[in-house]
């Protein structure tokens, strides 16, 4: 097994603590996580293309509309729960077929924890925490299965060429210990062999097992694991890698080199209160990020989960054109009531689609009655019934 651990020099680890308070330094940007930046409001459609797809509703095609993958011609959608149904739609929303290989026999999955569509090879992969990795053709016919080598659990996998995944790796039997770092793995699609391991070097591991997030607008609080944050982000064929204990976010290039792209300041190692920075959606002009800061005055509602700070989320954006950082708010231009869109989403490895969201049919009908819809969204809402399947909103990169 070929393995190449990627380590950068210690100098890169302390860039944040040594750099001046600049927003750009060379090819990377510096973000002061303690600073208040000016506000910037953006309309989503000004820098992204938006497509709405109404999923056909029939007695056979009833789904809660959780998108698993969107390909060049088809989409895979599922519902919550353990029924095992995978609904296949074309890109207009017409139902094509329903796949269900739920079971405990050969070629069957017990649960779907991760799903990867390989358009080029005409396959999809189901990662089952109990049965390993199962491979099917686009009609649901079983082809092969294998287990990740070295008893590794694969998290947030993406296609990495025709023959490999890139993903976050972890032991399936225990949480990551304080002495380990996130390992980003290049894994064979054929037999699960780990072909390459990429590690972000750190001075001292400080990653919490979980944090509690408090929203600014409604005041609710929730407990999330650090896997809620996006440590691995596809970006124009390259990869953005984030290790919470590092002050530097790196880009991993096709030639296997790694370079800093975002540096936080001050260093996390020097701060007494928890502050996390994670990148979100990245476009040609904008780098969206979130900063989660410990709210020392908040009381935790999770009495059974001590020692996890309550965090308040702030949305940041770096405008590459202006070379400035802002606190950002993004609105969907198809609503007239300033409906916000989060730019902190799980992105895709597609060169076309950045991310997707679902809109419930009954909510869209209510918005139509309120008179707050515009354009294509208004046309779709006018034809809906409250019991119809959700509408899928595809947010795509500008051509």
Q: How confident is the model at residue 273 (pLDDT cuts 50, 70, 90)?
A: confident
Q: What average pLDDT score do residues 206-221 get?
A: 50
Q: What is the mean pLDDT of residues 154-175?
A: 80
Residue with tokens 């998290």: 155
Confidence label for 97 from pLDDT (cuts 50, 70 and 90): very high
Q: Give the tens place of pLDDT for each residue, 108-133.
A: 999 999 999 999 999 999 999 888 99
Instruction: Provide the residue ranges of all domains of the chain, joining segments of one domain with +.
Output: 22-50+57-397
Spatial contact of 197 and 185, defined as CB atoms under 8 Å apart: yes
**211: pLDDT confidence band, cut at 50, 70 and 90?**
low
Q: Going by C-beta distance under 8 Å and a sequence separation of 6 or more, which residues neighbour residue 307?
A: none
pLDDT at 15: 39
Tokens of 260: 């800093």
Query: Does position 27 have pLDDT exceeding 90, yes or no?
Result: no
- Return the pLDDT at 201: 78
How far is residue 109's CA from residue 87's CA, in Å, rounded to a whole number?
A: 16
Sequence length of the chain is 399
Lowest mean pLDDT among 7-11, 151-155, 280-284: 7-11
Looking at 7-16, 49-58, 265-274, 312-321, which range is the least confident one?
A: 7-16
At residue 298 the predicted structure's pLDDT band, cuts being 50, 70 and 90, is: low
pLDDT in tens, 300-311: 554 444 556 677
pLDDT, tens digit, 9 for 90 and up, residues 217-256: 444 444 444 455 788 999 888 999 998 889 999 999 988 8
Mean pLDDT of 339-362: 95
Q: pLDDT digits over 379-399, tens only?
A: 999 999 999 999 999 999 998
pLDDT confidence of residue 275 = 87
Return d(Cα 173, Cα 6) in angstroms, integer.
Answer: 25
- Residue 92 burial (C-beta neighbours within 10 Å; 0-12, 13-18, 19+): exposed
Q: Report the topology of domain 22-50+57-397.
A: Methylamine Dehydrogenase; Chain H (2.130.10)
Predicted pLDDT of residue 274? 80
Residue of 164 and 227 predicted with greater confidence: 164
- pLDDT value for 116: 97
pLDDT at 20 over 50: no
* 11-15, 86-90, 99-103, 141-145: least confidently modelled range: 11-15
Q: Residue 11: is its pLDDT beyond 60? A: no
Distance CA(52)–CA(394), nearest Å, equals 6
The set of residues, in sequence order, having a beta carbon less than 8 Å from that of 271 and lying 6+ positions away, is none
Mean pLDDT of the region 58-67: 96
**Rg value, the chain, Cα:** 22
Percentage of residues of the chain with pLDDT beyond 70: 80
Q: What is the mean pLDDT of the chain?
A: 84
């Amino acid at each position: 097994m070929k393995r190449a651990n990627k380590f950068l020099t210690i100098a890169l680890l302390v860039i944040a603590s040594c750099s001046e308070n600049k927003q750009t330094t060379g090819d990377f940007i510096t973000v002061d996580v303690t600073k208040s930046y000016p506000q910037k409001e953006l309309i989503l459609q000004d820098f992204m293309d938006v497509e709405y797809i109404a999923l056909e509703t029939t007695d056979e095609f009833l789904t809660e509309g959780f998108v698993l993958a969107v390909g060049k011609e088809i989409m895979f959608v599922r519902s919550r729960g353990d029924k095992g149904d995978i609904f296949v739609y074309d890109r207009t929303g017409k139902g094509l077929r329903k796949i269900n290989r739920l079971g405990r026999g050969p070629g069957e999955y017990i649960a779907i924890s991760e799903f990867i569509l390989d358009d080029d090879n005409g396959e999809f992969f189901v990662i089952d925490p109990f049965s390993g990795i199962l491979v099917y053709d686009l009609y649901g016919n079983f082809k092969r299965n294998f287990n990740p080598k070295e008893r590794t659990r694969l998290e947030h996998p993406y296609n990495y060429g025709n023959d490999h995944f890139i993903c976050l790796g972890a032991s399936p039997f225990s949480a990551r210990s304080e002495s380990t770092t996130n390992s980003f793995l290049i894994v064979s699609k054929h037999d699960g062999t780990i072909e390459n391991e990429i590690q972000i070097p750190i001075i001292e591991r400080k990653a919490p097992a979980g944090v509690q997030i408090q929203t600014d607008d409604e005041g609710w609080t929730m407990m999330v694991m650090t896997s809620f944050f996006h440590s691995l982000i596809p970006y124009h064929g390259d990869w953005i890698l984030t290790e919470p204990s590092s002050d530097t976010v790196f880009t991993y290039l096709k030639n296997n080199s790694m370079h800093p792209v975002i540096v936080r300041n001050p260093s996390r190692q020097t701060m007494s209160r928890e502050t996390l920075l994670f990148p979100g959606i990245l476009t040609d002009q904008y780098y969206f990020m979130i900063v989660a800061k410990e709210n020392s005055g908040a009381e935790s509602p999770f009495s059974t989960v001590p020692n996890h700070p309550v965090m308040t989320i702030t949305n940041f954006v770096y405008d590459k054109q202006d070379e400035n950082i802002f606190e950002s708010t993004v609105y969907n231009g198809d609503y007239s009531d300033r409906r916000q869109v989060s730019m902190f989403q799980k992105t895709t490895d597609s060169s076309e689609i950045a991310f997707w969201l679902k809109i419930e049919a009954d909510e869209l009908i209510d918005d139509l009655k309120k008179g707050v819809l515009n354009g294509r969204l208004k046309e779709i809402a006018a034809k809906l019934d409250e019991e119809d399947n959700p509408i899928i909103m595809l947010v795509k990169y500008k051509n």
